[in-house]
């Protein structure tokens, strides 16, 4: 079930009993979830989602608006939703995962659970200026303050010339986002954040509970916006039992 929207080699279909679809931050790559592939049971397939304009899809046109992205994305993912699944998203990936969950639910394929990280609830307004509107230097400074990109990478002008368009497009999706029309979720939502994340505070994280009629829990882990990149194991230790509980759950379609 190979698709350009999912990175890496896929497991044989007969071996898969559960899928975890993973969505990275603006400018992120599937490498964020490299250690996740071997972190769960043999019958769990971790599927890092790759958007146009990233990695092997660098030559493709990036999407600039959520409403443009979500239709083609869900259409491409639907064949992989033939087994129970959950979604995990970090930062921009959180709202993409949220919209995928709602669209898939509307199509009769609800997730067992949604895990979001490092992002305020979708209905809350941003506290900072829209980064995608800044000039290149100011834009890269804003990216650098999040501590997710090494300084030497940001200072490589040739690399940045190639990378800025897709990175800016990702930020535009995030900055212009408002929830798309749709019903609230019914699955459980688990929300995570770093204790010193400048992008989200705990009250903004707690507001995710308003997006579902299912159960809600949240966890604050030590670190900044990229706590999961610096120390993935504390997060994985929390994700594992949730996946185990999802694998035994039955979710009612919306």
What is the C-alpha separation between 11 and 1, in angstroms, rounded? Answer: 9
Catalytic residue among 24, 62, 80, 91: 91
- Report the 3 state secondary structure along 23-38: ECCCCCCHHHHHHHHH
> Alpha-carbon distance 193 to 206, whole Å?
10
Identify the CA nearest to 159 among candidates 140, 131, 141, 174: 140
Nearest to 96 by CA among 122, 132, 127, 59: 122
Q: Name the strand (E) or helix (H) holding 245.
A: helix 232-247
Helix (H, G, I), strand (E, B) or coil at 63: coil
Rounded to 5 degrees, φ, ψ at 2 are: -70, 140
Q: Using alpha carbons, select from 73, 27, 20, 74 the residue that is nearest to residue 48.
A: 20
Residue for token pair 């030559």: 59
Find out whether 218 and 190 touch, Cβ atoms under 8 Å.
yes
Is 80 annotated as catalytic?
Answer: no
Backbone angles phi, psi at 76, to 5 degrees: -70, -30
Residue 133, both tokens: 């509107």
Q: Which residues are catalytic?
A: 91
């Amino acid at each position: 079930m190979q698709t350009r929207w999912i990175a890496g080699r896929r497991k044989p279909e007969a071996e898969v009993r559960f899928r975890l679809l993973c969505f990275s931050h603006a400018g992120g790559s599937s490498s964020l979830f490299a250690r996740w592939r071997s972190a769960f049971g043999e019958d769990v397939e971790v599927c890092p989602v790759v958007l146009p304009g990233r990695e092997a899809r660098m030559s493709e046109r990036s999407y600039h608006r959520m409403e443009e992205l979500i239709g083609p994305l869900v259409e491409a993912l639907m064949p992989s939703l033939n087994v129970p699944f959950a979604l995990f998203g970090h930062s921009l990936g959180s709202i993409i995962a949220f919209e995928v969950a709602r669209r898939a639910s509307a199509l009769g394929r609800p997730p067992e659970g949604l895990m979001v990280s490092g992002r305020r609830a979708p209905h809350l307004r941003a506290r900072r200026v829209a980064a995608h509107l800044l000039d290149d230097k100011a834009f890269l400074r804003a990216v650098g303050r999040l501590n997710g990109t090494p300084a030497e990478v940001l200072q490589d002008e040739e690399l940045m010339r190639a990378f800025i368009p897709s990175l800016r497009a990702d930020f535009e999706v995030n900055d212009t986002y408002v929830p798309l029309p749709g019903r609230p979720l019914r699955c459980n939502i688990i929300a995570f954040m770093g204790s010193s994340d400048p992008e989200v505070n705990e009250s903004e994280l707690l507001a995710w509970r308003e997006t579902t009629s299912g159960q809600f829990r949240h966890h604050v882990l030590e670190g900044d916006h990229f706590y999961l990149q610096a120390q993935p194991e504390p997060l994985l230790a929390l994700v594992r039992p949730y996946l185990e509980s999802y694998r035994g759950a039955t979710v009612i379609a919306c």
